[in-house]
Amino acid sequence: MELTENELDALAEIINIGSGRAAYSLSELTDSRIELSVPHLYCYDKSNFSEMATKFNLEFGTTVQQGFEGKMLGHALLAFPKANAFELARIVGGIPVGDAEMDQELYGVLEEIGNIVLNAILGSLANLVDCSLTYSLPALCENDAILKTIFSKMTQSGESANVVLVADTSLIVASHDISGSLILLFETGDIEIILAALAVNQAC
Amino acid sequence: MSQVTLLAAKLTEQQFDLLPIGICVIDHDHIIIKWNAVLTSWTGISTDRAVGSKLMDHYPNLLSARFLPRIQEVFKSGQPALFAPSTTHPFLPDPNQSVLLKTLISSLGGQGQFAQICLTDVTSQYSQIQDLRKEKEQHLISRDRAKAADLAKSEFLANMSHEIRTPMTAILGYADLLSDEQLVDSQRRKAINTIKRNGQHLLTIINDILDLSKIEAGKMTLEQIQTDPVRIVNEVLSLMLARAQDKGIDLVIKYDTPIPEQITSDPTKLQQILLNLLGNALKFTEMGSVTLHMAADSVRQQFQVRVVDTGIGMSAEQRDTISRFEAFHQANNSTTRQFGGSGLGLRISNSFAHLLGGEINVESVLGEGSTFTMTVSTGNLKGTRILNPELIGQRLEKTSQEEGQKLYGLAEKPLEGSRLLLAEDGPDNQRLISFILEKAGAYVTLAENGQIAVDKVHEANRSGKAFDVILMDMQMPVIDGYEATRQLRKEDYAGPIIALTAHAMAEDRQKCLNAGCDNYTTKPIDRKMLVSVIAEYTSVKYSTTPVEAPAT
């Protein structure tokens, strides 16, 4: 399904509210000013998954994933290109530059950052549709394997197309500009719930 | 409750304590409901004490803005909170004990009633990572070092091979030319001069390499003896005078301060540094002057020679390259071709200066000239006479008169009539040295090894024609020079023995003297030096009155 520019803008606004909360939490965590913004939102479905993966460089990324269920069902992911992910973790965690391949320490920090950001975004969405959600524990994965698994599981479950929202995210930490992608995968129909809620909100 | 249900509940309770993770359940008022055995062992807080108390009473840090809002959020929205080990340590039993815990707080039972806090000890996992990281870093560092050393070695060998081949090619080429019988005298002379010049250059390179390898192996030994700095500077000056005159360059010496008569240093190394600096200055100066400024600071115990030239100079960049004192570097590669030299001298000089408690500094302006300043330590100057410049002048005049006398003596036949024994196994050297000595007026008897030398000494003593001086090569077959000398001294032979060796190191000199030699001279043979050393021991030295030739 296609979303109109207006709908995408309105959604981006909701996500931005969540980003604000996430930035606040991250600043608390690191004792330094952090800005997190979502400048643009894109909509995909299962037919152009690989196009999306390429566009957002997900093949070689590091991803933190958190599932949610309730009135809406899906997964939220925060993905960074590997180098960016480790740079972010290094700045936030104050961890010296080491060997990225086996750096559990950095993974730990990334997991926490992902947890904070995803909680905030999902919290805003849950507020919007006025429902409570149940969340799975955050998990970290390298490359796009986790995304592929979730995506194939979701597409297998129903005939109709799922909606994937991808947002460019930009994190500014201690004057380092780190960009990543925020990915929201929804079961079919969920997006309508969000859009309906948006329509109500905008009408108010 | 059925028995099965009871058993199941008991099992769950047991499992709760047996899990290798810390588990704590709190209600929405943060009152502890559950506290498992692992937590007790980590924190020292017993289950009895924990249950019913407020979590934040034990860990007030959880009230901070970093943690509290996120814990509250677990109750409010059911969103789990994760605290990474390196960012947070809310449950550390002892702040000095570096236990790393990963903390996961999730909503339990829905409705925002309870939250479960799971703590996983990741200390060993993390320390393994740290170890691996360190190991890998170390490995990378040593690999880089090995690579750099390897590269430097290859560069060194490549350069060295080039430096040695160049003069060698000239020597072999001209030697080949000499075998052509059609050669006219002037061509022959030119060939001989070229061979000589290149041979000397090769010798310099070999000596430099030996010095450099000793320095790099940290095995360069230093003498710390009373050294006359003025005499050394003037010696260097007189050695370089001819070259300066050839190029039409003024060689000037200036005493900027009074100079101590004696300093504690290594005269050979000091001379080598100054020869190098002055040699460089003359090499790179086409017109104008080279001035040596001498100065001493008795408070800081420093002796300084500044070599100021009006030569080609260096750009700031070239000066920086030179200041690193790397092997084989001249200001740029083309200068090597234009001016020659191995590029080792300055590096060796700098190392020597450091060994002597000082350094070499470089200042230069492109096109205007360079100043190389050598500073060395003077050692303790207590009781040393400090000479003012006029006094130095007088002293030098006296010395140069003596030198003049010595040279005059050499011009005659300084070894006229003396009987010498030359113990030397190499036929080429036998011929060369006998030729030099006979030309200086001596009668030379040959011995091919140490044993024959000892026998010939006995023979000569028996016949009443004892040798005036024995010239003893140190490396010889049958018995070597050291052993032959020791034998002779053991037999109370009192005549002068002068060692002749290819080893140019200071400790070799000592080894010869220990064996009983009176003096020492090195191969390759420097004609004037050899004759003047022997002349010191023959009764005819400096004498202008003819001595009767001994009956033969």
pLDDT digits (tens, 9 = 90+) for B211-229: 888 887 777 888 888 899 9
Check residue B90 and give its pLDDT: 59
**One-letter amino acid identity for A200?**
V
Give the span between the Cα atoms of B288 and B248, in whole angstroms: 8
Count how many pairs of residues, chain A against chain B, have C-beta atoms within 8 Å.
80
Residue B434 pLDDT > 90: no
Residues of chain B contacting A132 with CB distance shorter than 8 Å: 77-78
Q: Which 8-state DSSP code applies to residue B31?
A: B
Residue B346's pLDDT band, with cuts at 50, 70 and 90, is confident
CA neighbor of A147 nearest in space, from A72, A70, A44 = A44
The CATH topology of domain B412-535 is: Rossmann fold (3.40.50)
> Strand, coil or helix: what is B463?
coil
Q: What single string gives the DSSP state of each residue in chain A?
A: ----HHHHHHHHHHHHHHHHHHHHHHHHHHTS-EEEE---EEEE-GGGHHHHHHHTT-TTEEEEEEEEESSS-EEEEEEEEHHHHHHHHHHHHTPPP--GGG-HHHHHHHHHHHHHHHHHHHHHHHHHHT---EEPPPEEEETTHHHHHHHHHHHHH-SSPPEEEEEEEEEEETTEEEEEEEEEEE-TTHHHHHHHHHHHHHH-
Give the span between the Cα atoms of B330 and A10, in whole angstroms: 70
Check residue A41 and give its pLDDT: 84
How does pLDDT run across B520-541, given as a tens digit for each residue? 888 777 788 888 889 888 854 3
A172 forms beta bridges with: A35, A177
Give the span between the Cα atoms of B514 and A204, in whole angstroms: 110
Give the span between the Cα atoms of A19 and A11, in whole angstroms: 12
Q: Cα B457 to chain center, whole Å?
A: 44
Q: Any idea where the domains of chain B sit in the sequence?
A: 3-121, 134-216, 225-407, 412-535
Q: Do A102 and B83 touch (CB under 8 A)?
A: no
Average pLDDT, chain B: 81
Contact between B103 and B116 (Cβ < 8 Å): no
Check residue B373 and give its pLDDT: 95
Q: In a structure prediction context, what are the per-residue pLDDT tens digits for chain A, which is 204 residues long?
A: 677 888 888 888 888 888 888 888 778 777 778 888 877 888 887 777 777 777 777 777 888 989 888 888 888 888 888 788 878 877 777 766 655 444 667 788 888 888 988 998 888 888 888 888 888 888 888 777 777 777 777 666 655 556 788 888 887 877 677 888 888 887 767 778 888 887 776 654
Q: What single string gives the DSSP state of each residue in B188-227?
A: HHHHHHHHHHHHHHHHHHHHHHHHHHHHHTT------EEE
Instruction: State the average pLDDT over residues B403-412.
Output: 44
Instruction: State the average pLDDT over residues B377-382.
Output: 88
Angle at the Cα of B209 (from B204 to B214), degrees rounded to 5?
Answer: 130
Query: Which is it for the CA torsion B34, B37, B38, B39, positive or negative?
Result: positive
Q: What single string gives the DSSP state of each residue in B279-319?
A: HHHHHT-SSSEEEEEEEEETTTTEEEEEEEE-S----HHHH
Q: Poorest-confidence range of B26-30, B125-129, B308-312?
A: B125-129
ipTM: 0.79
Contact between B535 and B541 (Cβ < 8 Å): yes
Check residue A107 and give its pLDDT: 80
CA neighbor of B95 nearest in space, from B131, B43, B56 = B43
> Strand, coil or helix: what is B86?
coil
Check residue B330 and give its pLDDT: 44
Check residue A188 and give its pLDDT: 66
How does pLDDT run across B486-517, given as a tens digit for each residue? 999 999 998 999 998 876 666 777 888 889 99
**B contact test, residue of A72, A99, A128 with most B CBs within 10 A:** A99
Show the tokens assigned to B159: 């350069």
Instruction: State the average pLDDT over residues B184-191.
Output: 84
Residues of chain B contacting A104 with CB distance shorter than 8 Å: 122, 125-126, 129
Which is more confidently placed, B322 or B144? B144
Contact between B471 and B500 (Cβ < 8 Å): yes
Show the tokens assigned to A74: 């899906």
Residues of chain A contacting B110 with CB distance shorter than 8 Å: 134
Check residue B544 and give its pLDDT: 35
- Count helices and strands (H / E) in chain B: 18, 19
| Architecture in CATH for domain B134-216 | Orthogonal Bundle (1.10)
Residues of chain A contacting B106 with CB distance shorter than 8 Å: 137
How does pLDDT run across B243-276, given as a tens digit for each residue? 888 888 888 888 888 899 899 999 888 988 998 8
Residues of chain B contacting A67 with CB distance shorter than 8 Å: none
Number of Cβ atoms within 10 Å of the Cβ of B149 = 10
Superfamily of the domain at B3-121: PAS domain (3.30.450.20)
Q: Say if residue B524 is preceded by a cis peptide, omega within 30 of 0.
A: yes
Give the span between the Cα atoms of B71 and B62, in whole angstroms: 9
Residues in A 22-81 with any Cβ partner in B closer than 8 A:
25, 28-30, 66
Check residue B294 and give its pLDDT: 92
How does pLDDT run across B66-117, given as a tens digit for each residue? 788 888 988 988 888 888 876 666 565 555 556 677 888 888 876 778 999 9
Which is more confidently placed, B52 or A97? B52
Alpha carbon of B96 to those of B89, B119, B243, B315: distances in Å? 12, 18, 73, 57
Nearest C-alpha of chain B: how many angstroms from A172?
Answer: 19
User: Domains plus CATH for chain A?
Assistant: 5-203 (3.40.1550.10)
Give the span between the Cα atoms of B104 and A74, in whole angstroms: 21
Check residue B11 and give its pLDDT: 74
Give the span between the Cα atoms of B482 and B511, in whole angstroms: 8
Q: Do B129 and A102 touch (CB under 8 A)?
A: yes
Q: What single string gives the DSSP state of each residue in B328-381?
A: T--SSHHHHHHH---S-HHHHHHHHHHHTT-EEEEEEETTTEEEEEEEEE----
CB within 8 Å of B432: residues ≥ 6 apart: B525
Q: Which of B77, B85, B126 sits opposite A126 (nearest CB)?
A: B77
Which is more confidently placed, A83 or B480? B480
Q: What single string gives the DSSP state of each residue in B96-159?
A: TS---EEEEEEEESSTT-EEEEEEEE-HHHHHHHHHHHHHHHHHHHHHHHHHHHHHHHHHHHHH
Contact between B453 and B423 (Cβ < 8 Å): yes
Q: pLDDT > 70: what percent of chain B?
A: 86
Number of Cβ atoms within 10 Å of the Cβ of B171 = 18
Residue A18 forms contact with B (CB below 8 Å):
no
Q: Do A137 and B104 touch (CB under 8 A)?
A: yes
Record the pTM. 0.47
Q: Do B133 and A119 touch (CB under 8 A)?
A: no
Q: Say which CATH class B225-407 falls into.
A: alpha beta
Interface of B with A (CB under 8 A): 65-66, 69-70, 73, 77-87, 102, 104, 106-107, 110, 122, 125-126, 129, 132-133, 136-137
Nearest C-alpha of chain A: how many angstroms from B32?
Answer: 22
Nearest C-alpha of chain B: how many angstroms from A119?
Answer: 6
Main-chain dihedrals φ then ψ at residue B75, nearest 5 degrees: -75, -40
Query: Closest chain B residue to A118 measured between Cα atoms?
Result: B79
Check residue B516 and give its pLDDT: 92
Give the span between the Cα atoms of A106 and B129, in whole angstroms: 11
Give the span between the Cα atoms of A100 and A86, in whole angstroms: 7
Q: pLDDT > 90: what percent of chain B?
A: 21
Q: Do A93 and B87 touch (CB under 8 A)?
A: yes
Give the span between the Cα atoms of B145 and B143, in whole angstroms: 5
State the first-to-last Cα distance of chain B, in angstroms, to the nearest integer.
136
Show the tokens assigned to A179: 């960009």
